[in-house]
Amino acid sequence: MTGQQRSGSGHRTVAHTADLRVEAWAPTAEGCIREAVRAAVEGFADTTGARPSGERACTVTAATDEDLLVAVLEEVIYRMDADGELPLGTELGAIRATAEGRALPVRFRMADAATAAPVGAVPKAVSLHDLRLRGGPGGWSCQVTLDV
């Protein structure tokens, strides 16, 4: 995505050896993180027939915006592993400064993962290698690799 101008919001997965590479863009950092969650889930599950099972809310905290991206994706991976759930939708509040760094309220509309069709390997971790979340005149963009 370097050097490219994009309008609106969106995401895509990119071929990457033995991992899932996600790129996303949006007018805001929060929107970019939301698009990254969508891309990550679409990389391993078709949620078309998935049944909603409830909501999960949390506030992630981190030192930087990039670390917030990692924390939200780690929450998705944790929910898959611990609860067998995956997000059908993600709502994010505004990123706010705290004494420790940054905080981001997150609300997931969850589905039972067993009701989604698998389309790839489920991520096991978020890689910090080549991690990026940056804002610029054209909006925000991010790149992140998920270990599968």
Query: What would the pLDDT profile of 6-39 be if each residue is shown by its tens digit?
Result: 558 877 666 556 789 999 999 999 999 999 999 9
Q: What is the pLDDT of residue 103?
A: 97
Task: Indicate the pLDDT class of residue 52, thresholds 50, 70 and 90.
Answer: very high
Higher-confidence residue of 122 and 108: namely 108
Pairing of strands 85-92, 139-147: unpaired
Selection from 40, 48, 34 nearest residue 12 by Cα:
40
Query: What would the pLDDT profile of 70-114 be if each residue is shown by its tens digit?
Result: 999 999 999 999 999 999 999 999 999 999 899 999 999 999 999
Q: What is the mean pLDDT of residues 37-56?
A: 94
Residue 101, in any domain of the structure: yes
State how far the Cα of 53 lies from the Cα of 140, in Å rounded to an integer: 31
Residue 4, in any domain of the structure: no
CATH code where residue 45 lies: 3.55.10.10
pTM: 0.89
Residue 2, in any domain of the structure: no
Residue 20, in any domain of the structure: yes
Residue 1, in any domain of the structure: no
Pair 86, 76: CB distance under 8 Å: yes
Residue type, 70: V
Q: Identify the domain containing residue 53 by its residue range.
A: 10-147
- pLDDT exceeds 50 at position 40: yes
Residue 108, in any domain of the structure: yes
Collapse the DSSP code of 77 into the 3-class scheme (helix H, G, I; strand E, B; otherwise coil) and give the result.
helix
Number of domains observed in the structure of the chain: 1
Residue 122, in any domain of the structure: yes
Higher-confidence residue of 14 and 122: namely 122
